[in-house]
Structure 1
Amino acid sequence: MTLKVAIAGATGYTGGELLRLLSQHPHVEVVSATSEQSAGEPLVHRLPSLKGYYDLTLESFDPKKIAEKADLVFLALSHTKAMEPARQLIDLGKRVIDLSADFRLRSAPLYERWYQLPHSRPELLKEAVYGLTEVYRSEIAKSHLIANPGCYPTGALLLLYPFLKAGCIDPSREIIIDSKSGISGAGRTPSAKAHFTEVNEGMAAYNVGVHRHLPEIEQEIRRIGQQKMTALFTPYLLPVNRGILTTIYLPLNEKFTQKKIDSVLDLYRGEPFIRRFDGAPNLSQIRGSNFCDIGAFATPSGRTAILMSAIDNLVKGASGQAIQNMNVMMGWDERLGLMSPGIFP
């Protein structure tokens, strides 16, 4: 079986990664790639690294025309731009994987508070499945609308999930999350904060206490843990192209030895894209891959665990996870199209 897919927003970083990864997928044909700014241009003019892999001309995004060609559509659009296209495509019988934030939050008022815009399709918030594959695999398999998680939440929630399931987090203490991201997390559109001279040889926190991924993280830790928990989340910008390194200081409800921490993480045995390390993970080891590398450490008190993860923000944090979700939706091996090694050095 060949699945015909379209990518809306193909020339952004996540759209380009979708095209790169799907070029090696044995069951997928990309039949359409859209770009509002470059419609009419050959795809390889904007993404020359794909020359020899695709012979597509970029088009404007018309959901009705796309639905005539594609069975599944990846929406790699800016936040707030996916709501109406998703509704149209679903009504036309198509499956949708949205890489924006438009369907991640389950509450329309919460979305409006954090994105300063009323949600135009609140009915879809109940239909969308949060696409953290290792957590919601069974729901993803039956869904027609996937809300692909944010990159920061992916790196944090994959660390937290086994401990939330085990019920060993102290809800009276805040979960402290410190995440450092490569500059590609800011997107491809030029901005002052992403300028080379602003980023190179420096590191700084941004959106401290008010980052839009915080409500997404708290929503999921409360849902998985089935009780109210709060998090402190501080993101930093690193002078590297890609990758997110997350450190979590996790409050525990009893003393944990290293052996006990390791036993909690045994939940991930057999997961194709979770890799355990005895030491601390390194961004250089996951660039270009769909892996989430994890390290976990006991502390002398035993009442706090130090957890670390490394992911590629454009792959496991975006396009690779989207393809993993597509594979689950189709009943395929999750590894299809995603098992090339990372980029080294």
Structure 2
Amino acid sequence: MTHKIAILGASGYTGAELIRLIAQHPNLEITALSGERKAGMEMAEVFPHLRHMSLPRLCRIDEIDFSQIDLCFCALPHKTSQEVIAALPGDLKIVDLSADFRLRDPADYEMWYGNKHAALAQQEEAVYGLTEFYREEIRGARLVAGTGCNAATGQFALRPLISAGVIDLDEIILDLKCAVSGAGRSLKENLLHAELSEGYNPYAIGSTHRHLGEFDQEFSKLAGRPVKVQFTPHLIPANRGILATVYVKGDAQAIHDTLAAAYADEPFIQMLPFGEAPSTHHVRGSNYCHIGVAADRLPGRAIVFAALDNLTKGSSGQALQNANLMLGENEEEGLTMAPLFP
């Protein structure tokens, strides 16, 4: 069975990544692509690397006949996404890649994003889109909220450890390095080559990074009590990739064993041998996440590492993985390509 797909915000990086992935899927057909500022343009003009594909022209959202669409990917900025999704047909399956439906409490959304929630009815039905941990809920969902890419990386490293009680919940330090594509395609002065290359810098330090809202929500739910991690993201001069280095208090071998058991049957999570650390080079362009554990020199402390591609496993690949479940497809369909190396 062929499912007809629309991608809203197809002129951004995550939209282009969705197109790249769906091109390998035998049962999905892209029938509508929106890009408000680039409406009327061919995708080959916007992303020349896609010129070999036969794709519809970019159009405005109000030009799409959603009665002919089986599932819609929404790759729009936060706030815009809420407004658009609230106006879409109530029976349309949607995977949202923005932040607009990730936080279950509308008050938390307002605190972290500075806007009142504009789609409360849709928020009530939204399922958090971390596939490996919400698989059954996603399978029956109409609206799935994709996670933040930083939030997904940190959660892959920590969720099984919190659930199993093998680490001190008050001693978690998350140091994260993320590539520039995570900031989107809009022009920003600090992302110019001369400003970014040959160095890296922390950003959104202290309590200001919005993905802290996801960490607080998900980790506290798992633990049954408030859990707040120390988290500092760093912007690195690379196009793709996230590497999380997490410092925890607990037995390193038990931590490795817990993660290995939790992910033993997960097709996209690869555990490294004890003592090895992953690299963003080894997951580039793929839907895989590599996790490693090493003992710290301080007794009773360990270091957990997680690496993934922010545009694939951290966003568009996760979105397709969720869409497969929602459409009754094989969860791995269109996502088993090997990473690009070097």
What TM-score results when the alignment is normalised by the length of structure 2?
0.96
CA distance in 2, matches of 1:73, 1:21: 15
Contact 1:140 1:329 in 2 (8 A): yes
List aligned pairs for 1:227-246, cutoff 5 A. 227-246=225-244
Structure-2 separation of matches of 1:191 and 1:300: 41
Deviation per residue, 1:40-93 (Å, 9 max, x gap): 11121111111122231110012x8341331110000011111122223242x1
1:125 aligns with 2:123: yes
Residue type at the aligned position of 1:21? L
Q: 2:214 aligns with which of 213, 216, 221?
A: 216
Match of 1:52 in 2: 52
Give the distance between the partners of 1:202 and 1:148, measured in 2 at CA.
Answer: 30
User: Residues 66 and 344 (structure 1 numbering): CA distance in 2 closer, same or farther, change over 3 Å?
Assistant: farther
- 1:270 is aligned to 265
Q: 1:44 touches 1:54 (CA, 8 Å); kept in 2? A: no
Distance 1:230 1:79 in 2: 24
User: Could you tell me which residue of structure 1 aligns to residue 153 of structure 2?
Assistant: 155
Distance, in Å, in 2 between the alignment partners of 1:235 and 1:54 is 38
1:77 partner SS? coil
Corresponding residue of 1:165: 163
Residue 199 (structure 1) aligned with residue 224 (structure 2): no
1:106, CA displacement in angstroms?
A: 0.9
**Aligned equivalent of 1:298:** 295
Give, in whole Å, the separation in 2 of the partners of 1:257 and 1:169.
Answer: 10
Q: Distance in 2 between matches of 1:288 and 1:257?
A: 30
What are the superposed Cα offsets for residues 158-212 of structure 1, whole Å, 9 maximum, x if unpaired? 11111122122323x2421111011111110110111101110001001102111
How far apart are the structure 2 equivalents of 1:231 and 1:257? 19
CA–CA distance in 2 between the matches of 1:331 and 1:301?
A: 48
Partner residue in 1 for 2:286: 289
Partner Cα distance (2:318, 2:191) in 1: 25
CA distance in 1, matches of 2:78, 2:252: 42
Q: Distance in 1 between matches of 2:104 and 2:324?
A: 24
Q: Which runs of at least 4 in structure 1 moved beyond 4 Å after TM superposition?
A: none
Give percent identity, aligned residues only. Answer: 43
Where does structure 2 lack aligned partners over 5 or more consecutive residues? Answer: none
Given residue 50 of structure 1, which amino acid in structure 2 is its aligned partner? L
- Distance in structure 1 (CA, Å) of the matches to 2:85 and 2:155: 26
Q: CA deviation at 1:328?
A: 1.4
The Cα shift of 1:305 comes to 2.2
Amino acid at match of 1:305: A
Aligned residues: 338
Q: Give 2:337's aligned residue.
A: 340
Q: C-alpha separation between the residues in 2 aligned to 1:304 and 1:322?
A: 35
Q: Deviations over 1:294-337 (max 9, x none)?
A: 00123355533210011000000100000000111122221111
State how 1:107-146 maps to structure 2 within 5 Å.
107-146=105-144
Which residue pairs with 1:80 in the alignment? 79
